[in-house]
Amino acid sequence: MVGLLAIQGAFQDHLPHLQALGVPYRLVLSAGDLVGCDRLIIPGGESTVMNKFLRAYKLAGPIKDRIANGMAVWGICAGAIVLAEKVDDKTGPLGILEVGIRRNAYGRQLASKAVRLDIPILGRKQFEAIFIRAPRIVQWSEQILIHCRMGRDPVFVQQERIMATCFHPELTGDSVFHRFFMEL
């Protein structure tokens, strides 16, 4: 069962991909909603608001505990920020992905863009990656596998069963990222 964190952000954009793959999912609004989930998607959105809601709904601790006990998690854009150990040189909201991130590092909303990226691990050449107020991964530990870069910057990373993308694969018609996540 895939949990889809639904407290804030673009969680609905993941539904067509999960449905196309025939994957059962549940919207997560409380710690009880995590029961039975072996995976969690933390969608794009506004990381500051998402962090406030994680605290208000008392979800940060239960999510961290579930990840520590093996639940796979995927953070997209704001979700990557929520997972990061460091955000703008401060402790990240969940602090479990061994990366340092800069928020909005590629520019504000007007600087949003689509970039074609080669992603060998997914067998994709020229995947259209959509960057919207995207974070930049500026540091990472040796535990981080870098699956894709934009220039020199990692934009798709993995640490065991934790993955993060700085762009929005859910905004394309290609479910390849969701399929990869289901195999973690």
- Whole-angstrom distance, CA of residue 60 vs CA of residue 168: 23
Q: What is the pLDDT of residues 128-138, one digit of tens each?
A: 999 998 999 99
Mean per-residue pLDDT over the chain, rounded: 95
- Whole-angstrom distance, CA of residue 6 vs CA of residue 43: 8
Active-site entry in 14, 17, 166, 170: 170
Q: So what's the pLDDT on residue 104?
A: 84
Phi/psi for 37 (5° steps) reads: -85, 130
Active-site entry in 77, 98, 148, 166: 77
Provide the number of structural domains found in the chain: 1
Taking 90 as the threshold, does the pLDDT of residue 158 lie above it? Answer: yes
- Going by their DSSP bridges, the two strands 97-102 and 136-140 should be labelled as antiparallel
Active-site entry in 14, 17, 168, 178: 168
Q: What is the pLDDT of residues 13-67, one digit of tens each?
A: 999 999 999 999 999 999 999 999 999 999 999 999 999 999 999 999 999 999 9
Taking 60 as the threshold, does the pLDDT of residue 110 lie above it? Answer: no
Question: Among 81, 156, 168, 170, which residue's Cα sits nearest to residue 120?
Answer: 156
* pTM for the whole structure: 0.96
Taking 90 as the threshold, does the pLDDT of residue 105 lie above it? Answer: no
CATH code of 46's domain: 3.40.50.880
Specify the higher pLDDT residue, 104 or 109: 104
77 counts as catalytic = yes
Range of 121's domain? 2-182
Q: So what's the pLDDT on residue 31?
A: 97
